[in-house]
Amino acid sequence: MDIWTRKKRSQVMSLIKAKDTKPEKLVRKLISNSGYRYRLNVRSLPGSPDIVLAKYKCAIFVHGCFWHFHEKCRDGKIPASNKSYWRPKLYANRLRDIKNKRALMKRGWEVLTLWECQVKKQQGYVSNRLRAFFDKTIHCDVKSVKR
């Protein structure tokens, strides 16, 4: 049983943003502080990645734990009410994410997925993941150009 009326639940859900979320802004700040330039939500790429470093063919997704069904997180659970609606919807979101990531990789892009819970609670971990991602993708690319 939901604690809110249908109207109130609809109002609350409509306030959830798809772009410029706090976790996205934190990741963008970390990237900017590292000296990299990026573009946001590039629609011409599969899945419209949240952050794109086109020069290096790097795409970064910052997924919300609920909407992208992060099973390893407390927020990535199917709601108890109306499971017949939420289960197919959240699984479809997850399958779409996998399909988009594969499509990007097929085009030669490197893809990193960060989760909302990681960005909010483990910023050191996220910084290390970004650093490792950039070391693997960008610096390898630069070395190959110098040869």
- CATH code: domain of residue 104: 3.40.960.10
Cα end-to-end span (Å), the chain: 64
CA distances from 24 to 19, 141, 144 (A): 8, 25, 30
pLDDT value, residue 145:
37
8-state DSSP, 47: T
| Stronger pLDDT, 33 or 102, i.e. the higher one | 102
The answer to whether the CB of 108 falls within 8 A of the CB of 46 is no
Mean pLDDT, range 87-101, rounded to an integer: 94
The pLDDT of residue 31 is above 80: yes
pTM equals 0.81
**60 domain residue, yes or no:** yes
> Is 10 part of any domain?
no
> 63: which strand partners?
115
Residue 142 lies in a domain: no
pLDDT tens digits for range 18-27? 667 888 999 9
Average pLDDT over residues 63-84: 85
pLDDT confidence of residue 2: 63
**132: in domain:** yes
Given this model, what pLDDT does residue 5 score?
80
Q: How many domains does the chain have?
A: 1
Mean per-residue pLDDT for 115-122?
Answer: 89
Q: Is residue 57 part of a domain?
A: yes
Range of the structural domain that residue 28 is part of: 18-136
> Is the residue at 50 inside a domain?
yes
